[in-house]
Chains A and B, each alone.
Chain A
Amino acid sequence: MNKNNTSRREFLRASGGALGAAWLGIHWPELATAAQHAHEVAAGRVDHEFMVLTASQARDVAAIAAQVVPSGDTPGASEAGVVYFIDHIHAGLYARSAPEFLAGLAAFQAEFARQHPGTGPFADLDAPGQHAHLKSIESTPFFGTMKYLTIVGLLALPSYGGNEHKLGWKLAGFVDQHAWTPPFGHYDRDYAGFVPYATAPR
């Protein structure tokens, strides 16, 4: 991954460090409003940079990711910054797969344009329309890759560029703490202890 960009991102993270999980919990609706529009992102209105994707590619990728893990009452792929993960990972860990990914994306866009002449890019379509189109290409390798990348971008370490503010982990109820003590959950809280078996069953 490009070191300068990484450190710049780290810098931006550090400056925004006051936005803790508790703050997010209280201010979630505002945050959703502020971050939900992928076109704002692609137009460069927030502090993210793309290393691999063009603005129009990023809009479509963000729109597909938002269909894989939609927003709603709780954060989805958009708020967790999955599109940045998908961009950055193709400049880093998956750099070798970048041409294949971009070719898949180009084929996706071309096929969409062929099926929907005159409607503009996939990202401009309304949500039900997007869902219906993705349903029709559900079994393509490109969509499989997008499902994988969206899930990983949502739930991998934030240092990879997604899972922003650990929103993905929050969604999954996962807490990245390095030590725990029992009880771990509801059902082991009142466990009475292992009762030995009286006799051998055979």
Chain B
Amino acid sequence: MSARTFKPTETVDFVVVGSGAAGGVMARELAQAGFEVLVLEQGPRFTAADFRHDELDYWFNNALLNSPEASPQTFRKSAQDKAARVRDFPSLWYARMVGGSSNHFTANFWRFHEVDFRERSLLGAIAGTSFADWPIDYAELEPYYTRVEWEIGVSGLAGASPFDPPRSKPYPMPPLPVKSSGVLLERGARKLGLHPFPAPMAIASVPYRGRPSCAHCGFCMGFGCEMQAKSSTLYTVIPEAEATGRCEVRSESYVSRIDVNDRDRVTGVTYFDRDKREHFQKARAVVVCANGAETARLLLMSGSARHPDGLANSSGFVGRNLMFNTYAEVHAIFEHELNEYKSVQVTRVVHDFYDSDPRRGFYGGGGFDSRIGPAPIGWALFAPPAERSWGPGLKSLIEAMPRAMVVATHGTSLPLESNRVDLDPELKDAWGLPAMRVTYQDHPDDLACAGFLQDRAVDVMQAAGAQQVWKGPLTDAAGSPHLLGTCRMGNDPKTSVVDRYHRTHDIRNLFICDGSSLVTSGRGQPTMTIQALAFRAGEHIARFARRGEI
């Protein structure tokens, strides 16, 4: 069946704002449940044939991203500072296109652990933070993690990590072939008594559900997959949603406002088409899946006399508790060739330091994985220490690239009310809407944890026999593609934006599901969890709709 096209005068059952990791799943779940779904996506629709191996355009010219010119942002470290316009590269970045950031992500796809959902109870309060338990636990999310693995498509080895939480089913595909970086990470980690394991990746290792397997071209992180082997929603749930005949994905449709009546019911959304003409789309309910940055901004832009602080914001938590996951790199050069530019970025992961351990003197945990940044420009620009950033020192590092690998850490970010997305009071975007203002400063424990993980990664590289090992810079984060926590879920309407079913506490027919729903940051690589939440939310929202409870 071909995709449905709705007329502007029709009232659809659901408008889904955003077609990324969460929006794609939501559209498919609601359409397959029998509802009419219109997905409004601000970016264009690409096909696999449109993606190119152009490192300059994709990494340094924001070819796939929200552009700092059309969609400007400002950044500051604290509310006392005046936020400055961010040039060259966005602070909060995402792929602005159908399928969203599920197109250009690295595709690391491990589940959160049980501890991630109830750490506040286990460890107690942390002063100055809004550290909290989730309203759901791992067991409640487990069936949906399994659905992600089977319906989106994840390659991995069940039971390989002794730290993994319980699972009801193995992975549907075997792990991708190990790379030299994975072998070396495993070698070093095992020598130190650690437990490296094959990386779970949302990339097809064998042909899967009509998609071909990975060709190992190497252009995953920051690139779209021209093989359709990466399990982006563009290639998985979005075509399935359209195949129901009840779903339209309307690209280049930029939602500027969610409209409510005087009984606090959403009536539809206002959006700009590709020619910047405004339209109003009527809907019985709206699900916002616009990512942890844009979702909060849209709610704040949808304020009115009745909702002076923005829509669904009686808690004041919309846009607050922004979390990133820390990131630090360790670089290593070995005797023989690894050729890290080939194949998927990550093949082995270490999660021995996942849990927080009070004996370390700080809150937090995480892991690290074998990978290289985008090659080769990224290597030459980002890997060299300052004293080797030009001249013969730089040249020798460029020549050493085939023998190099990077270990990347992934760790916790504490939720802080002061870290937030809001509306810049002066700057406007290309549509005349308020620009996004970002306020962010890492909690000291976040940086301490990242430094700890970085040091453990150094140990592993040395144990693996590296000839040279050095650490990348570890500084305050000024941005991230992990956009988490800004409309957190919770049972208490005073300290959360959505309830345990992703319904906003304030507006009965307004739902939110994306990275903004997360209560804690996990240890990084959040997309798997965002999609599990979307499968679960879709099921509950469909149930409410069938019962007339929307």
Q: Could you say which residues of chain A place their CB within 8 Å of the CB of B402? A: 172-174, 185
Q: Is the CB–CB distance between A173 and B177 below 8 Å?
A: no
Q: Is the CB–CB distance between A68 and B390 below 8 Å?
A: yes
- On whether A188 and B54 interact (CB within 8 A), knowing A147-B389, A152-B377, A173-B339, the answer reads no
Q: Which residue of A lies closest to B52 (CB)?
A: A157
Interface residue ranges of A67-94 to B (CB < 8 Å): 67-70, 72, 74, 76, 93
Selected interface stretch from A21-29, A39-47, A48-56, A191-199: A191-199
- Asked if B11 lies at the interface with its beta carbon under 8 angstroms from chain A, I say no
Q: Is the CB–CB distance between A69 and B337 below 8 Å?
A: no
Q: Is the CB–CB distance between B216 and A185 below 8 Å?
A: no
- How many angstroms from the CA of A160 to the CA of B182 in the assembled complex? 34
- Asked if A179 lies at the interface with its beta carbon under 8 angstroms from chain B, I say yes
- On whether A155 and B377 interact (CB within 8 A), knowing A69-B395, A184-B342, A201-B162, the answer reads yes
- Asked if A98 lies at the interface with its beta carbon under 8 angstroms from chain B, I say no
Q: Is the CB–CB distance between A67 and B390 below 8 Å?
A: yes
- On whether A180 and B216 interact (CB within 8 A), knowing A154-B380, A197-B195, A201-B195, the answer reads yes
Q: Could you say which residues of chain A place their CB within 8 Å of the CB of B218? A: 180
- On whether A174 and B160 interact (CB within 8 A), knowing A156-B377, A188-B178, the answer reads no
B318 to chain A, nearest CB (A): 35
Q: Could you say which residues of chain B place their CB within 8 Å of the CB of A70? A: 391-392, 395
- Asked if B61 lies at the interface with its beta carbon under 8 angstroms from chain A, I say yes
Interface residues on A, range: 35 or more
Q: Is the CB–CB distance between A185 and B336 below 8 Å?
A: yes
Choice from B177, B226, B380, B389 contacting A172 with Cβ under 8 Å: B380
Q: Is the CB–CB distance between A156 and B390 below 8 Å?
A: no
- On whether A172 and B399 interact (CB within 8 A), knowing A156-B377, A182-B177, A184-B342, the answer reads yes
- How many angstroms from the CA of A156 to the CA of B381 in the assembled complex? 12
Q: Is the CB–CB distance between B54 and A196 below 8 Å?
A: no
Q: Is the CB–CB distance between A180 and B398 below 8 Å?
A: no
Q: Is the CB–CB distance between B183 and A173 below 8 Å?
A: no
Interface residue ranges of B232-281 to A (CB < 8 Å): none
A119 to chain B, nearest CB (A): 21
- Asked if A19 lies at the interface with its beta carbon under 8 angstroms from chain B, I say no
Tell which of A70, A169, A191, A199 has the most Cβ of chain B within 10 Å: A191
Q: Is the CB–CB distance between B216 and A184 below 8 Å?
A: yes
- Asked if B192 lies at the interface with its beta carbon under 8 angstroms from chain A, I say no
A146 to chain B, nearest CB (A): 9
Interface residues on B, range: 35 or more
- Asked if A133 lies at the interface with its beta carbon under 8 angstroms from chain B, I say no
A201 to chain B, nearest CB (A): 5
- How many angstroms from the CA of A173 to the CA of B372 in the assembled complex? 14
Q: Is the CB–CB distance between B54 and A157 below 8 Å?
A: yes
- Asked if A11 lies at the interface with its beta carbon under 8 angstroms from chain B, I say no
Choice from A157, A175, A186, A201 contacting B338 with Cβ under 8 Å: A186
- Asked if B48 lies at the interface with its beta carbon under 8 angstroms from chain A, I say no
- Asked if B207 lies at the interface with its beta carbon under 8 angstroms from chain A, I say no
Interface residue ranges of A9-45 to B (CB < 8 Å): none
- Asked if B86 lies at the interface with its beta carbon under 8 angstroms from chain A, I say no
A161 to chain B, nearest CB (A): 11
- Asked if B315 lies at the interface with its beta carbon under 8 angstroms from chain A, I say no
Q: Which residue of A lies closest to B164 (CB)?
A: A200
Q: Is the CB–CB distance between B53 and A186 below 8 Å?
A: no
Q: Is the CB–CB distance between A186 and B180 below 8 Å?
A: yes
Interface residue ranges of B52-74 to A (CB < 8 Å): 53-57, 60-61
- Asked if A131 lies at the interface with its beta carbon under 8 angstroms from chain B, I say yes
Q: Which residue of B lies closest to A69 (CB)?
A: B395
Q: Could you say which residues of chain A place their CB within 8 Å of the CB of B334? A: 187
Q: Is the CB–CB distance between A194 and B198 below 8 Å?
A: yes
Q: Could you say which residues of chain B place their CB within 8 Å of the CB of A196? A: 159-160
Closest 9 CB pairs of A and B: A185-B180, A186-B336, A173-B402, A187-B180, A179-B215, A156-B56, A185-B338, A172-B376, A180-B216
Q: Which residues of A contact B (CB under 8 A)?
A: 67-70, 72, 74, 76, 93, 131, 134, 138, 147-148, 150-152, 154-157, 160, 168-169, 171-188, 191, 194, 196-197, 199-202
- Apart from the given pairs A181-B216, A187-B334, 8 other A-B contacts in the complex at a CB distance below 8 Å: A68-B391, A151-B394, A152-B377, A155-B55, A185-B342, A187-B183, A187-B187, A201-B162
Q: Which residues of B contact A (CB under 8 A)?
A: 53-57, 60-61, 157, 159-160, 162-163, 175, 177-180, 182-184, 186-187, 195, 197-198, 215-218, 226, 334, 336-343, 352, 375-377, 379-381, 389-392, 394-395, 398-399, 401-402
Chain A to chain B contacts (Cβ below 8 Å), 10 pairs:
A74-B399, A155-B377, A156-B54, A168-B376, A177-B217, A184-B179, A187-B183, A187-B334, A188-B180, A197-B195
